[in-house]
Structures are given as structure tokens and as C-alpha cells.
Structure 1
Amino acid sequence: MRISGGNTTEQSAGQSQEIPANPTDETDLWLQCNTFYELFMPLSLLVSVFIILLLSFVERRKKIWDCERRFSCLSGRFGFVVPLDFTGKMQNRWSYGFAFGAVTPFVINLMFNSIIRANVPPYLQVLVALLTALVLSIVCMPLFACLSTPHRLLGGVLGLLYSLSWFVALMWKLIWCRAIAPNDNFVGYLLWSVWLFNVPQLLCLGFLVCRFGSIIVKGVQNRLRNYSKQEEVEKHEYKYVQRLLRWPAEASVQKSWFQREVYEWDPYFKFPNRIIATVVLSFFGVYMIVTSEQIISWWLTSNMYAIWKKYLKHILDQTSFFTHLNYVTYTWYISAACATLTSVIHISQVLVYYRKHMESLRAGEKKYLPKTYKLDPVYGVVGLLKYPGYQIAFSVWGYLIMHIAMFVVGLVFVYLVVSPIREHGFLHWLKWVGMSLPNFFILLAVMGLQRMLSHLFFLQDKTSPTDEDKPLALNNRKAFHNFNYYLFFCNVILGVMSCFLRLIKSAAVGLMLLSRIERTIMPEGFEKQDTSYCMWVGMIMADHYHTNPVLVCFCHLLLKHTSESVQDGEYSRLNSEPISKDQVRTRWLLVYTLLRNPKLILLRKKRKQKNDKEGELAFAWAISNKA
């Protein structure tokens, strides 16, 4: 009895170790883990609507309807909540960028799953995507509205609670899914890849939590100090105008190599939140696509040995198969690193060229614009709307296309250079190159001969020893005509080679500059065919018209002086000086302005009896006196 009982116990213990107690429950939990976004978004939608209504309630509208006057508590309430301003606001620039980074994975996952799993006809899938995007915009709106609301303390508290709930939910999802995951290598690999995907989102959410915490601390400090209105901080526009009004420094400042060749920091120039958010999301998109590529490629290469052993063992030799596999794998990883580095440089160049173009426009120079460019207001508004999405898409697709092109070029280089040298030696490869490329070298020699003879025999000598180049004057004309006749037929062959070289160079430059919206890839005269470049030009022109520091400072000063000069609906004097003294001062300022800017004389209003000759004489007098 003991033996049988012991055997029964051992058998039952072995069965309990081999078979899970509740496999169905673990499977259900794993499926719930995979549908985390579908369960999390409806809950966030309710909280988001409540936060938006609360922020709308504390907003005041300038226009009050008659029906609202009966209820004093609702008078002017429920105003518009502006999530963010893309037209030139400089506040919370990096916070908006990290907020976009925090919501991007939710957007991609939910929209992708909703389109794939939606039980709708194919022709309605776009409508489903649009409705999903509308719901997502409502869910993500509190992260932006709490940053832009003028009620800083309320926005900080609501934003902290909302962003902290997202951070805790995401961490709980990752840890819980890791705990209940089946003991499978493939599932474990997927979980580590999910962690890699969610690391940037966790960092963005952590930044937002810290940002909202700092907003709360500053709000509490202002309340404790009884600040009814925050002190007005001197803006960068005023500092920029003050620098323009200063005399230039006599001695030039010595710049470092980084300032001369790479980038020079300007404390009086700030990038708008649209550019900051676009750059952050472009980096985020490139990171996600690079991570996806490397996860898939690593899994494929790690399982190629099993595939060869199971299916290709009787077809391919082991040594040859793994040699070619190493060539492909190393080329793929090296090209991925080069394409990633190039994409990072291209995205960074967005900041450099935006500042360069804006400073050029502010200085009155339009050298970066097409020669026949004419401003279309519609293109300016469309550029403001489309640029962020276009730049992100161009960055991601530019990386993919550039990676594939570099991978193909790398394989060509490996099988033309690396593989022959490794198998047959360097001397054998050099001999093969010497036998394969003599025609190319002969054509290069003929091209060099034409240049050398043109410089030595067919140009006259320098007119002065100090001249750098010879003058464009023919010498030895008879020899030149004979040489030109004989080479007429040879240059046809050279033209064929030059045509191929031009095609290769154009394709290489076009692929490298595919993600560079700020530079056109079309030749001169066809810039309008490059719609992305036209969108960039329209965007910087709209920014120039709306964020020019000189114009902004003028408007601010005009509004300030107007508000000070208006009392009870009547205009009052800006100062209490006598009228005669004020007129003398005004005339002196007018004379000084006209002397400094003589062209303004022609723009002044004249009486009808004054002719153009008098205006010309006044302009000539002003120029002569200024000189």
C-alpha cells in the first residue's frame, strides 16, 4: 500500500509539474495583456473629457450671450481650450515635443489595430482610421491643454495626475506581461523588443511628470507671494532688436572650429514649438523603425542555422552558405549604422537650415529662395499645416530608402572587392582590376589631356605675374582647330561615360537628400515641381511674417503705448510736457529719421500741387547731406 501510494503520489507530482494547473487562464491573461491599448483608451477618454470640460469652464470668453447674463456663474464660461499654438509660440517648446513623443506609440498601436481588426468593408477603413484619430486627439488633448492653459496651477495638477496615470499604467502593463508570459524563447524575445519600443515613451512621460511637478511648485510659490500677475519677463525679441541697435564690435571675436564649421549658438534666436516637436518626433520615428529592423533582422539571422539544418542541408554547402550569410549580415548592420547616422545628421540639419533661412529673411536677403519665387498666402498656411507631418514621414521613409540603397551598394562592394580578395588574394584581385578597367583609365587620361593642353598651349600667357589664372584668349589657333576636329569624335564616347556618371551622381544625391525638405532635388527652374520644398518655403515665409522680432516688438510697443494713452475712451497725451516742446521734439525725431533713412522722403504724403521734381530734389539733398 505504501509503495502503490508512493507511486501514485510521484505520478501525480510529475503530472502536476508537466501540465499547468490552469492553462486556459494563463492564455486569457496573455490575450488581455496584448489588448492593453484597447482597454486603456476608453478609460482615458472619460478622464480626458472631464479634464477638457473643467479647463473649458475656467476659461472666459470675451463675448457673452444674452441667455448667460441671467446666470452669473456661467457668464462667459466654457471657452475654447487651445491645446497648443504652432504659429510661433516659444513657451513649453520641449514639453510639447516630449508630449508628442509620449502619445505617438498609443496612436500607432491603436490606429493599426483598429484598421486591421475592424469588421467593416475595405472602402470604409479610411473612415474608421479618421474616427480613431479623432478619438485619439481627445484622449491625448489633456497633455497639451494642461501645458498651454493660463491657469498654471490647475493645469499643473491635472496634467500631473493624467501623465502619472499613463506612466503607472504603462509600467504595470510591461511588468505584468513579463510576469504572466509563457516560458518561450520567442515570447521572451517579443517582450524584450516591446521594452525597447517603450523606453522612449517612458522617458517622455517621466519628463512630463517632472515638468508638471515644476509647474505646480512655481504656482504654489506665486500664490504664497501673493502674485496677482506674473512679472513680465524680457522676451528674446526685445533682446534681438537691442542687439540690432548696438554698434558692431570693432574687434572680431575668435570663433572655435565647431562654431565656424558646424553650428554657432545664438542666444537671441529661439526655435518655435512646431520645429522642436517635429525634430523630436522625427528622432522618435527613426528610432522606432531602426529598432524594428534590428529586432527582425537579429531574429532572422539567429534562426538561419536551424533553417539551414532543417531544409537547406542537402542543397547548400555549410561553409559557402554561412560565408554568404555573414557577408549579408555584416553589410546589413554596417549599412544600418551608416543610414542611421546620416538620418540623425539630416534631422539635425533641420534646425541649422531653419535658423539660417530665417536669419537671412530677417536681414532682407532672399538668396535661399528660388529666383522666380512669388509668395502665395495659401502655400504659407498649407506649409504651417503640413510641415510637421511631412518632415516626420520624409525622415522615416528617407531612412528606409537610404538604408536599402546603402545595403545594395555595400553588397556590390563586398562581392567585387572583399570576397575576391578573401578567396584569391589581393594580387589576383588587383590583376583582375587592371584587366577590367583599362578602358575607363584611358578615357580619364583623354579627358585630362584635353585639360592639360588647354592650359599649356591653347591659352595666352598671363598679362601680369600677379594674376591667378590665364586670360580667356586663344593661342596657337591652327593647332587648336586641328586638335578640336580630331577630338570631336572622341568626345562622343566621353559623353556616353559622362552621361552615366551624371546619372549615378544624380541618383546618389537624390537618395541622400530625399529627407531634406529644406533643399530641392529639382534643377533650377523646376523648383515648383518639388511640392515638399515649396511647402518648406511657404512655411518659413509664414514664420517670417508672423515672428519677425522687429515687427513683433513694434506691435508690442504700439499696443502698450495705445493702452496707456487711452483713458475712458478718449485719447490723452503720453506725457505732460507743453504742446510746443512736444512739437519741437517730434519734428527733431522726424528730421533725424529722414536723415538716417533718406528713401523715406519719397514715401511721405505730399500735397497735390507738389510735383515729382521737388521730391527728387529733396532726395538728392538728403543724400548729399548724409554723405
Structure 2
Amino acid sequence: MSVTGAGNGTWSTEAEEENYDDWYLDLPAEPSTPPHEIIVPCNPTVPDHLYHLIVAPLSLAVLLVVSLLVRRRRLCKGCLNGVPGLPSPVNFLHPDAQKAGAAAVFGVLFCSLCRLVLDPDPLPFLAGSSLQNREYWKILALLYYPALYYPLLACMSIRHGAGYFLGGILSWLHCGILIWQKIQCPQSLKFHRYYALLSVLPQLLCFLLLSFLYPAWLLKKCKQDKKSEDSQVAEKSYCVEYLQTILKKKKKSNSPLNPSLPSRSWRFLNSCLYSPQQGFQLPLKLIISATVCGICIYQVALLMLVGFLPTVQKIRASIDMEVILMLAGFGLNIAEDRNEAIDLIKYYLWALEVCYVSALVLSCALTVCMLVRSLVLHRSNLKALYRGAVSEVFLHNPALRPSRSAIFCWMSFTSYQTAVTCIGLLLQQVVFFICTILITFLVIVPIVYGKNLLLFRILEAMWPFWALLVLALIGQHLCARFAFLTISATNRELNNRRALYLVTYLLFPVNVLLGVIMGIWRVVISALFNIVHMCRLDISLLHRAVETFDPGYRTYCHFLKIEASQSHPMMRTFCFLLMQPSSYEGPPGQKAGDVEEGIQLMQSKKPLMKGVLSRQSRTRWWLAYTLLNNPSLLAFRTSRLRLAGSMPNGMPTVEPK
């Protein structure tokens, strides 16, 4: 047997031919898996089916107890005469809801969804299900896991000491069993030996957070005074803080007209990174979306890492002489020396691993940056809608009122945001992996080894063409600046128009070639922009005129409408002012003064001076102005004025003919 290269003189000596026969001796077969990589199946003390058989009835019992603690009339007046019913899981439109606890429960639910998609058994207590019935069990599991974790939300929504106690017991039970399972069996046979342990870490962190939040809420509940809870919440709520921030006198900014480069860089950094602002809080659904998207990035990145990297490492470790001989049989000559060829193939595979990990890190970093940047835009959009500037957010001026489409989009916003984050991360990983492979194997590796210089040879053969395009591009810019443009202190005018027309005509063929390059670059830029911004619903991937055809952006617009119309902080404060006299305890004279001042913004026991009166007048005017432009009240105000036969803003009425 002999292997010869086509004119290369590779492996054609007789000594090598004698050694080739040694490769086909019947040697004892080695184990395919080294002993240290063999994972012994592990059976924990509390397996998954027993864990769910214990937790599911206990969750149902906790839910029954919580439903007995809350009467239905607190949730729905006149429904079945106030008999016990299911409590609300969480008040999504209330600004003072337990945001950390709700985000933790949604994180646990998303981790269960990941397990549902990847595990062969959708329901843990129905192991060994057949392929025919597996899809039905998956549908049932999509309803089972939300019902399993529903009591964790119900216990915190009723704001009762018994609910906090039961929620703490339930969360500690979930957390304790999961920790005990992973201590007993840290390794598994699925994907990677440590994949099961790493994938359950976000779920464990969420359960640990709930395990500490419930006792903290219980202690806070025990230390509270026996005052009316509604008045305490209203006095210290976010709405009052927002109102105080809006109505207080703004300080004059002393920013220079031409800021320096560090100050401009700092402003740009603040516009990209979300930092809390006094008097404003993000809605609960946005906080839940950010939490679930962060867990989604972790789970998808972990799955892509353990699905690709161990396989390539095993292939790289198994490269030997047989692979070199097989490639030589197909006419592929890697190197003249066998050992050098093996090292070179292993180096190529190692470079492939580096490209994959680099693309994954870049994809995760860009996705996180886009989500953080979207929080800044969320805040600016909500603040604009709160002050009635609808045209700053939407292309048209829609009515900020609930509708069928708006309610549906509001319900599905968090789920859609999570799904597009997952899809965007996958697309970025594929595109960036291909780009890093091209850069590595067409530029970096050929420069290091001095071989396979295909790209450089193409560029060397076409260098006159590229030089012509570069010179034409630079020459046109220089002529436009120094020959065809006259810049004066007050105006800019065209100059040498005859030469301008002549150059335009002569460079037409060259500009056509430049247009081809520009068109290709435009496609690349558009594709990269859409792929990078795929995870964001707050911006449209289409043109401004047809942005409503983007389903993701349309969902976000309807979500903003519901949030601005139903959870407006000024509207809540105004409603509290209307309800305050009936529940206020104090002297009659002080009661009217406190209500009129807007939740004790300017309390004073001394006689009011001239400056105090002016501040009160200014505060009342600002309060009336903000209520007048409140998008939550504007629709009702317009309809009432029309029914009364008058026009808004003092316009004269028109008598019907």
C-alpha cells in the first residue's frame, strides 16, 4: 500500500509503506469513553416524581387556605355575595406591588418551561410516557407548572401575615428539596455532566430570594402599627413621590453650551445604561420582563455551550494517524510531516472552539446591552405619556384607552419579550460565529502560518481595481470640500459648477461600481442592525411609515397605552385625594387644607405669608395643568364636555342645525 501526492512527493518511501500495514493489525478495542468520563446513574433520596407528588398537594392546600383568608368582595364586588374565591396572583398595574417576589416567581416558572421543552418526560410524575401521548402531556404540563407556583404569588398578594408564613414554608420546601437533590446527584447524563446542576442555578436563586423575602415581609407585618394600611401606603407610595418630584421647583442647569468630550461621553454612557431616577419607577411587567430575559440569556447560552464545545473537544482529542491517512485518501494534504499535520488539525479545531466561545460571549454581551438600553427608552416613553406628549412616542396620536388589541398585547408582552430575546440570541450566535470563522481562517491563521493565502491573493490580483475605487472616493470628497464648495461666515454656496458637472459625468461609471459596494454594505448593515436589535420590542425593525406591520413593536405600543392609561401615578394620586376626606382623621380645618395642598406637599402650622401663597398658587396651577393633560382622564373629559354641549379649552359651542 502506498499513498502519493500529486507531484508533492509526500509519503512515497518504502519505509513508510511498510509502516502503513501496522495500522490495520487487529489490536484490542479500547473503550470509547475513558473511565474518568463514565457517569454512574444517580438516584436521589427524593426523586422528581416524589418531589412533585409532595409539593403539588401542599400547594393546593396552601391555595385553599389563602382563598379562605380573602373574601371575593375585595376582588370583585357583588360576585357571589362575597364567598371565598381565588386571590389575584399579583397586581400588575399597581406601582407598589412586591416586584422582587413576583419577578422571582416568574423566573422559577420560566426555568420549569425550559425543563419542559428539553426533558423527554413533560410531567415528572408520569415517567416513561409514550411518543404518541407525549404531546398531550406537554400541553397538560403547560398548565400544571403555572398552577404549581401560583400559591407563591397568592401568598404575597393578599398582604396577610398567615399568607407570608405559608409562602415562606412553601418556598423553603421547594428550595430545600432542590438543594438536597443537587448535593446528592451533581452530575447527570443529559448533554453534559454538569448541565443539570448549572441549569437549575437560576431557579435555586429565585427560591432563595423568596425564602428570604417572605420572612422579611412577615416581620414587617408584625411590627406595623394598627393604623389603616391604605392610608400608610398612600402616604409613602410611589405616586406621592412622583407627584412631589413633578411639582417641585426645578433648579436652573448651568451646563455649558459646548460641553467637553468627557462630559459628552458621560452623557452618552448615562443614556445607554439604565440608572434609577428619583420619583420614577419602572412598571412591574417591565421588571418581570427584564428578569426573565436575563434568565433566558443564561439558559440559552448554557445550552449552546454544552451542546457544541464538549463534542468538538472529543473530536480534537481523537485526532490521530488514521484521520491523516483518511484525508490523504481524499487527496487532502495538510502537511508533509504526519505529526505536524495532526498538530495543525488540532490547532484548527482549537481555533474553531475559540471562535464559538468568542461569538457566544459577544452575542450575550450585545443582548444584555440592548435590553439595558431598552429600559432607558421605556422610561423616557412612559414619562412622555405621563405628561401627555403622545406625539413624542407614536407616529400618530392614538387614544390612550383600553381596547381588545391593547389588552391582549399587554397580557402577552412579557412572554413575547422573552421569546424574541431567545430568537435574537440564537441568530446573533450563528451570524457572529460565521463571521469569526471567516476572519480567523481567512486572515489570522494564514498570516500566522503563511499558508492558504487565498484572500490575500485575490486582493493582490485585484489591487488596481480597489485602488481606483479608493482614489475615486477620496478624490470626490476632496474636490467637494475644496473645489466645489465655498464656505463663508454666514453661508455656504456651490462653486465651479462647470467643473462639477464635468466631474459628475466623467466619474459616472466609477460611481456605479462604488454603488455596488455601497449596496452590499447596506445589506450587511441592515442585516446586522436587525439581528442585534431583534431582542428589543421598543423599536421597530421596519420603516417609520410601516412600523405598525411589525408585530413586536405593535405589541409594545399597546402595552404602553395600557400602562399609561391604567397606572398613571397622577391619576392615582388624584383618586386618593378624592377619597381622602372620608377616611381622614383630624380637625376639619386641617383636613381641607391637606387635601387641597396635594398630599401634604406644603404643610405649615404658621399663618401663610405672601411667598407661601405664591408657592401654593404655583403648585395648584401645576397640579391642574398635569391633571388636564392626563391621558387617563383626557378621553373622559372630552366625552363629558361633548355631552354637556361645550368645547374644551374655552372654545365656543356650536349649535346643532
TM-score when scaled to structure 1?
0.76
Decide whether aligned partners of structure 1 residues 417 and 35 sit closer, same or farther in structure 2, where only a CA change above 3 A counts.
Answer: farther
Amino acid at match of 1:343: T
Aligned partner (choices 341, 352, 355) of residue 376 of structure 2: 352
Deviation at 1:392? Answer: 1.0
> For residues 498 and 370 of structure 1, do their structure 2 counterparts lie closer, same or farther at Cα, with a shift above 3 Å needed?
farther
1:405 is displaced (CA, Å) by 0.6
Quote how far apart the aligned CAs of 1:149 are.
Answer: 1.2
Query: Where do 1:343-492 residues align within 5 Å?
Result: 343-366=367-390, 369-372=393-396, 374-375=398-399, 377-424=403-450, 433-459=459-485, 461-462=486-487, 464-465=488-489, 467=490, 470-471=492-493, 474-492=494-512
Corresponding position: 1:529 with 2:557: no
Structure 2 distance, partners of 1:219, 1:303, is 57
**Aligned counterpart for 1:168 among listed residues 151, 176, 198:** 176
Contact 1:101 1:281 in 2 (8 A): yes
Deviation at 1:209, TM superposition (A): 0.7
- Whichever residue aligns with residue 156 of structure 2, its letter is L
What per-residue deviation string (whole Å, max 9, x for no partner) do you get for residues 473-519 of structure 1? x4333333333332334332222222111111111111111111111
Is the 8 Å Cα contact of residues 122 and 138 (structure 2) preserved in structure 1?
Answer: yes
User: Unaligned stretches of 5+ in structure 2?
Assistant: 1-38, 257-262, 328-340, 594-612, 629-636, 653-657
Q: 1:370 to 1:492 in 2, by over 3 A?
A: farther
Tell me what 2:149 maps to: 140
CA distance in 1, matches of 2:372, 2:646: 57
CA RMSD of the aligned region, Å? 4.2
Structure with greater helix share of residues:
1
Percent of aligned positions with the same letter in both sequences? 18
SS at 1:518 equivalent: coil
Q: Structure 2 CA distance, aligned partners of 1:361 and 1:66?
A: 34
User: What is aligned with 1:339?
Assistant: 363
The answer for the alignment partner of 2:335 in structure 1 is none
Is the contact made by 2:469 and 2:514 (CA closer than 8 Å) also made in structure 1?
yes
Amino acid at match of 1:205: F
**TM-score normalised by the chain length of structure 2:** 0.73
Q: Is the 8 A contact 1:58 1:77 kept in 2?
A: no
Tell me how far 1:589 sits from its aligned partner: 8.4
**8 Å CA contact retained: 1:94, 1:273:** no
Provide the secondary structure at the position in 2 that maps to 1:513.
Answer: helix
Mark the CA change 1:41 to 1:520 in structure 2 (over 3 Å): closer, same or farther.
same
Separation of aligned partners in 2, 1:189 and 1:288: 13
Contact 2:469 2:510 in 1 (8 A): no
In structure 2, C-alpha distance between the alignment counterparts of 1:337 and 1:130, rounded to whole Å: 34
Task: Write the deviation string for residues 517-571 of structure 1: whole angstroms up to 9, x where unpaired.
Answer: 1111112212122110111111112111122222221122123246679xxxxxx
Deviation of 1:57 after TM superposition, in Å, equals: 0.8
Give the secondary structure class of the aligned counterpart of 1:271: coil
What's the CA shift string for 1:97-118, capped at 9, x where partnerless?
1122233333332464445978
- Structure 1, unmatched stretches of 5+, are 1-26, 69-74, 566-572, 577-584, 617-627
Give runs of aligned pairs for residues 66-215 of structure 1, distance below 5 A: 76-110=82-116, 112-115=119-122, 127-151=136-160, 153-178=161-186, 187=189, 190-215=192-217
- The structure-2 alpha-carbon separation of the partners of 1:615 and 1:268, relative to structure 1 and needing over 3 Å to count, comes to closer
- Give the conservation status (yes or no) of the 8 Å contact 1:240–1:549: yes
Is residue 304 of structure 2 the alignment partner of residue 293 of structure 1?
A: yes
Q: CA deviation at 1:308?
A: 2.6
Greater Cα shift, 127-136 or 330-339: 127-136
Matches within 5 A, 1:598-617: none
- The aligned length equals 546
C-alpha change, 1:132 and 1:427, in structure 2 (3 Å) is closer
Does structure 2 retain, via aligned residues, the 8 Å contact 1:421–1:429? no
CA distance in 2, matches of 1:204, 1:539: 26
Is contact 1:520–1:530 with CA below 8 Å preserved after alignment?
Answer: yes
Shift in CA distance, 30/228, structure 1 to aligned 2, threshold 3 Å: farther
TM superposition shift of 1:191 = 4.3
CA drift at 1:419: 1.3
Task: Give the deviation of 1:343 after TM superposition.
Answer: 1.6
- 2:295 — aligned with what? 284
Over 3 Å counting, the alpha-carbon distance change for 1:529 and 1:120 in structure 2 is farther
Are residues 425 and 380 of structure 1, via their aligned partners in 2, closer, same or farther at CA, if it must alter by over 3 Å? same
